[in-house]
């Protein structure tokens, strides 16, 4: 019995943030029904990332990443019968997750208020770039645009450079995780009160939450911290990235005892008696000189050697790895977050690996029960469960091909 077994979720989302939200819920046992436009389904299925062979079958890696444990149906929401079918489906679900443009469902007469009238305890999670209120509620947005709008991009990069987008779509995935957390909380709230909930989830707000300490400093001081490159937000002068004999090493020294351990390991403990470095304030004022002493010693050994020595001394440090290296090491440590599909040669996903969740349960935790499905493959089964006749299902499918 998984935590969300028995919970039915209607997924009206596309691209990354919304589908990742419903994917996280599906990993915990929810019955997720994904609604796509008739024909080819959502465009993410065919995202090639420059490779003409990738996604040609409607199973791009971007789509497969977050589409397991979902039943896929197609439904034409622009037809009267499609709208009626949607309302019957939505009223059978505990949760609706959608990231359509503001007003798109309301214009068709199938928005939140209509569904709520049919099912008062429905939980509705509306995901958008800027939120469903305010002057930008109608504006579209993607991860990179939100990073620019929220100041996240401006915070990233070395001093004096142009701002840099964080490489991975972190805002999308932070939004998805926030959505899953909000839905789980609303389900618990409903269990206590019997009432439903409307969740207004904004990518902008998720982005700002990712910068919580920096945002707090900025909103109270009125000025954003300067761009610091690889320097830590703590401001400690020795928390940064250093060159070693064979690569880069990230060192985090945010407490005085860590600084003592660092300098002791490097044979530089005498610097703590130097008048330039005897207090944290003086250490910061003379940070360039202090770092130069540390850098000089770190060049004498490899990043791998320093990583082990520093961590053993209680100083957080890591060799700067490639993503390939990091994934391989987690696999070797038995801590992989990935699920490998083993459906047999007839399954298009066989051998592929996709991430699960960032946590584990001792029992009945996040898991994949079924792999990604082709667009519309579950339409007949889902509507048969709702009591539709074969003729009605055939009519819906006929409308879906137009």
Of 314, 294, 352, 330, the C-alpha closest to 66 is: 352
Q: What is the pLDDT of residue 111?
A: 98
Taking the C-alpha atoms of residue 239 and residue 243, their distance in angstroms, rounded to an integer, is 13
> CB under 8 Å to 103, separation ≥6 — which residues?
111, 138
Q: What is the pLDDT of residue 346?
A: 55
What ranges do the domains of the chain cover?
A: 8-210+337-400, 240-320
Architecture of the domain spanning 8-210+337-400: 3-Layer(aba) Sandwich (3.40)
Which residues on adjacent β-strands are paired with residue 243? 248
Q: What is the pLDDT of residue 73?
A: 96
Give pLDDT tens digits for 142-194.
999 999 999 999 999 998 899 999 999 999 999 999 999 999 999 999 999 99
**Is the CB of residue 129 less than 8 Å from the CB of residue 172?**
no
By residue count, the chain amounts to: 402
Token representation of residue 381: 């089964």
Tell me whether residue 172 is one of the annotated catalytic residues: yes
Question: How does DSSP assign 183-245, residue by residue?
Answer: HHHHHHHHHHH---EEEEEEHHHHHHHHTHHHHHHHHHHSSPPPP-TTS-TT--TT-EEEE-S
Give pLDDT tens digits for 182-236.
999 999 999 999 999 999 999 999 999 999 999 999 999 998 888 888 988 777 8
Token representation of residue 30: 């929810």
Sheet of 70-74, strand order: 70-74, 31-36, 8-12, 95-98, 123-128, 197-202
The low-confidence residues of the chain, meaning pLDDT below 50, are 402
**Pick the catalytic residue: 11, 31, 94, 172?**
172
Q: What is the pLDDT of residue 402?
A: 37
> Which residue stretches of 100-162 are H helix?
112-118, 143-150, 152-155
Which DSSP letter does residue 340 get?
A: E
Taking the C-alpha atoms of residue 111 and residue 113, their distance in angstroms, rounded to an integer, is 6
CATH topology for 240-320 is formyl-coa transferase, domain 3 (3.30.1540)
Taking the C-alpha atoms of residue 14 and residue 95, their distance in angstroms, rounded to an integer, is 16
């Amino acid at each position: 019995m998984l935590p969300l077994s028995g919970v039915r979720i209607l997924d009206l989302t596309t691209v990354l943030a919304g589908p990742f939200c419903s994917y996280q819920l599906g990993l915990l046992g929810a019955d997720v029904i994904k609604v796509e436009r008739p024909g080819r389904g959502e465009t993410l299925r065919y995202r090639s990332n420059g490779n003409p062979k990738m996604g040609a079958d409607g199973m791009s890696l971007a789509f497969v990443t977050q589409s397991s444990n979902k039943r896929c149906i197609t439904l034409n929401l622009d037809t009267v019968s499609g709208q009626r079918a949607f309302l019957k489906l939505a009223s059978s679900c505990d949760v609706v997750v959608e990231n359509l443009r503001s007003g798109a469902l309301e214009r068709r007469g199938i928005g939140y208020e209509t569904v709520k009238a049919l099912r008062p305890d429905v939980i509705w999670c509306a995901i958008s770039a800027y939120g469903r209120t305010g002057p930008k509620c109608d504006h579209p947005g993607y991860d990179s645009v939100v990073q620019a709008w929220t100041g996240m991009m401006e915070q990233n990069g070395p001093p004096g450079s142009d701002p840099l987008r964080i490489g991975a779509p972190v805002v999308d995935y932070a939004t998805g995780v926030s959505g899953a957390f909000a839905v789980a909380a609303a389900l618990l709230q409903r269990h206590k009160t019997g009432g439903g909930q409307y969740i207004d989830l904004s990518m902008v707000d998720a982005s700002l939450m990712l910068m919580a300490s920096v945002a707090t400093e900025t909103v109270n001081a009125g000025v954003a911290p300067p761009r610091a490159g690889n320097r830590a937000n703590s401001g400690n002068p020795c928390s940064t990235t250093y060159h070693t004999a064979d690569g880069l090493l990230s060192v985090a020294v945010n407490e005085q005892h860590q600084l003592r351990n660092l300098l002791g390991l490097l044979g530089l403990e005498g610097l703590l008696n130097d008048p330039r470095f005897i207090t944290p304030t003086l250490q910061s004022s003379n940070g360039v000189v202090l770092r130069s002493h540390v850098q000089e010693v770190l060049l004498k050994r490899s990043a791998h050697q320093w990583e082990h020595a520093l961590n053993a001394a209680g100083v957080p440090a890591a060799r700067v790895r490639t993503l390939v290296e990091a994934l391989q090491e987690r696999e070797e440590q038995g801590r992989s977050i990935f699920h490998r599909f083993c459906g047999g040669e007839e399954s298009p996903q066989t051998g592929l690996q996709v991430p699960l969740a960032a946590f584990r349960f001792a029992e009945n935790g996040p898991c994949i029960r079924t792999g990604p499905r082709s667009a519309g493959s579950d339409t007949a089964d889902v509507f048969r469960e709702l009591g539709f006749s074969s003729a009605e299902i055939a009519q819906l499918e006929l409308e879906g091909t137009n």
